[in-house]
């Protein structure tokens, strides 16, 4: 069955949408902790009341459905006849955990409402088929696009076998990325920096060019987040200009230091082969332009500061550049005191 056909034509009530919204909300707790799996959430409902919830919390941990069933059992609440709202089609394979389809059957669940089908070739279609064959009611597609947004890097990787590419760049009020009159420094708020670290935590790899290493000597690690997993760092240094003492090369973390001509498409293939599902490109402008011009950017997060640089460095990273790279603008976000423009592949 194709994925598009997999959506059931059903009218769900606002109350049902609320249960799925809650499932998406608890799924969020696994963001940055379950890669290469997607974040998944589950809410069990009986007689119109939520009786348990679960989420895929960390890689190797229980899947969302199994955690929700455990949650109910631990509190002595019977699950017979309940409806499960799950953000992803339940799996039907033995992987790091036994199949969720079996847990749902065993728990006596009567109806399963799924937000998004699972494009994982190990799972595709079989999860819902097996449940239907066992006599459960199964519906697919409630808040599907919200779920697709939440697990976009997983879905992208399943289809392309390459990481989803997010560009993050900060500009001043005039679109400048740096102030030549100043030592390299931050020009955004503390609250914004917290968000940057949360973003890094959700990425499997962080890439910069040699200019950024020479100017800022960054560490590109995740800080400000508890139990952070460190993404690998990728430095494009075609001309071999980075000194051996650079922090990214000496602090003991994992870094791919690429000297010589780097074919970006091949690089994405290689990262995809290593199950890296999200790559964060953190600048500077020439590196970002390379990705944009090659049509390899899936998402841009443009942090807009109200500061004005005295000796600006124009970036050319404007609406035209993003539009011609095939991106379209979405609702902005707020990171601390800064507004963040969001662009996504159309
Ligand atoms: C579910 N519920 O909460 C998640 C699912 O090898 P494993 O056991 O880690 O399985 C990973 C795959 O299972 C993952 O790639 C995706 O297809 C699905 N994830 N399925 O029923 C969950 N996280
Ligand atoms: Zn599962």
Ligand 1 atom 17: residue of nearest CA: 120
Question: Strands, DSSP E only, in the chain?
Answer: 41-46, 49-55, 83-88, 111-116, 137-140, 164-171, 176-179, 205-209, 232-236, 255-258, 278-281, 299-304, 312-314, 327-335, 338-345
Supply the pLDDT for residue 121. 78
Supply the pLDDT for residue 179. 85
Tokens for 259, please give them: 């000297």
Q: At residue 205, what are phi and psi to the nearest 5 degrees?
A: -145, 150
Distance 138 CA to ligand 2 centre (A): 16
Supply the pLDDT for residue 2. 46
Pocket flag, ligand 1, residue 118 (CB < 6 Å): yes
- Tell me, yes or no, whether 267 and 238 share the same domain: yes
Pocket flag, ligand 1, residue 100 (CB < 6 Å): yes
Task: Residue 301: name the closest of 154, 133, 166 by CA.
Answer: 166
38 DSSP 8-state letter:
P
Query: Which are the contacts of 340, defined by CB distance < 8 A and separation ≥ 6?
Result: 195, 301, 302, 303, 304, 332, 333, 334
Could you give the CA distance from residue 238 to residue 286 in angstroms, rounded to a whole number? 13
Q: Beta 49-55 vs 83-88: how paired, if at all?
A: unpaired
Ligand 1 atom 20: residue of nearest CA: 91
Residue finishing a domain among 117, 151, 185:
151
- Residue 65 annotated among the catalytic residues of the structure: yes
Tokens for 157, please give them: 């990787």
Asked if the structure places residue 248 within a domain, the reply is yes
Task: Residue 49: name the closest of 86, 10, 83, 11 by CA.
Answer: 83
CATH code for the domain of 59: 3.40.140.10
Which of the residues in the chain have pLDDT under 70? 1-7, 9, 124-125, 184
Distance 143 CA to ligand 2 centre (A): 19
Nearest-atom index, ligand 1, CA of 59:
9
Asked if the structure places residue 192 within a domain, the reply is yes
Give the chain's domain count: 2
- Among the bound ligands, name the one nearest to the CA of residue 55: 1
Pocket flag, ligand 1, residue 54 (CB < 6 Å): no
Supply the pLDDT for residue 6. 62
* Catalytic-role residue among 65, 89, 299, 338: 65
Distance 64 CA to ligand 2 centre (A): 7
**Would you say 54 and 68 are in contact if contact means Cβ atoms under 8 Å apart?**
yes
Could you give the CA distance from residue 272 to residue 35 in angstroms, rounded to a whole number? 12
Supply the pLDDT for residue 4. 43
Asked if the structure places residue 133 within a domain, the reply is yes
For residue 246, give the 3-state DSSP assignment: coil
Distance 63 CA to ligand 1 centre (A): 6
Asked if the structure places residue 289 within a domain, the reply is yes
Pocket flag, ligand 1, residue 212 (CB < 6 Å): no
CA angle, residues 295, 299, 302, in degrees to nearest 5 = 115
Pocket flag, ligand 1, residue 56 (CB < 6 Å): yes
Residue finishing a domain among 115, 132, 151:
151
Structural domain boundaries, residue 43? 14-151
Pocket flag, ligand 1, residue 204 (CB < 6 Å): no
Could you give the CA distance from residue 45 to residue 50 in angstroms, rounded to a whole number? 4
Distance 34 CA to ligand 1 centre (A): 9
Asked if the structure places residue 33 within a domain, the reply is yes
For residue 312, give the 3-state DSSP assignment: strand
Ligand 1 atom 11: residue of nearest CA: 37
- Tell me, yes or no, whether 142 and 185 share the same domain: no
Ligand 1 atom 22: residue of nearest CA: 63
Residue finishing a domain among 101, 121, 151:
151
Scanning 166-278, the segments in alpha helix (DSSP H) are 190-201, 210-216, 247-250, 264-273
Supply the pLDDT for residue 320. 96
Supply the pLDDT for residue 1. 44
Find the largest Cα–Cα distance for the chain. 70
Supply the pLDDT for residue 227. 80
Digit-coded pLDDT (tens) for 162-207: 999 999 999 998 888 888 887 767 788 899 999 999 999 999 999 9
């Amino acid at each position: 069955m194709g994925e598009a056909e997999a959506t059931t034509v059903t009218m769900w009530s606002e109350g049902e949408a609320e249960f799925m919204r809650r499932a998406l909300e608890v799924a969020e707790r696994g963001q940055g902790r379950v890669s290469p799996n997607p974040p998944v959430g589950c809410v069990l409902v009986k007689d119109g009341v939520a009786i348990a919830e679960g989420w895929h919390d960390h890689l190797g941990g229980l899947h969302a459905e199994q955690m929700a069933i455990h949650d109910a059992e631990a509190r002595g609440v019977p699950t017979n006849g309940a409806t499960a709202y799950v953000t992803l089609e339940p799996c039907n394979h033995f992987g790091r955990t036994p199949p969720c389809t079996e847990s749902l059957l065993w728990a006596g669940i009567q109806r399963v409402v799924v937000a998004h089908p699972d494009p994982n070739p190990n799972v595709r279609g079989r999860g819902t088929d097996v449940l239907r064959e066992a006599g459960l009611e199964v519906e697919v597609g409630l808040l599907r696009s919200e779920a697709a947004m939440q697990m976009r890097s997983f879905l992208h990787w399943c289809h392309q076998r390459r990481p989803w590419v997010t560009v993050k760049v900060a500009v001043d009020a005039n679109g400048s990325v740096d102030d030549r009159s100043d030592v390299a420094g931050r020009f955004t708020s503390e609250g914004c920096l917290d968000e940057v670290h949360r973003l890094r935590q959700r990425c499997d790899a962080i890439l910069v060019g040699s200019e950024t290493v020479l100017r800022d000597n960054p560490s590109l690690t995740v800080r400000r987040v508890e139990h952070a997993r460190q993404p690998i760092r990728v430095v494009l240094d075609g001309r071999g200009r980075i000194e051996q003492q650079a922090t990214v090369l000496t602090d003991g973390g994992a870094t791919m230091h690429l000297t010589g001509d780097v074919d970006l498409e091949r690089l994405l293939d290689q990262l995809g082969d290593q199950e890296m599902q999200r790559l964060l490109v953190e600048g500077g402008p020439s590196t970002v332009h390379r990705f944009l011009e090659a049509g390899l950017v899936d998402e841009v997060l443009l942090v807009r500061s109200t500061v004005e640089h005295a000796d600006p460095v124009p970036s050319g990273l404007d609406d035209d550049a993003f539009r011609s790279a095939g991106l379209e603008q979405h609702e902005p976000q707020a990171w601390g005191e800064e507004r963040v423009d969001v662009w996504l592949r159309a």
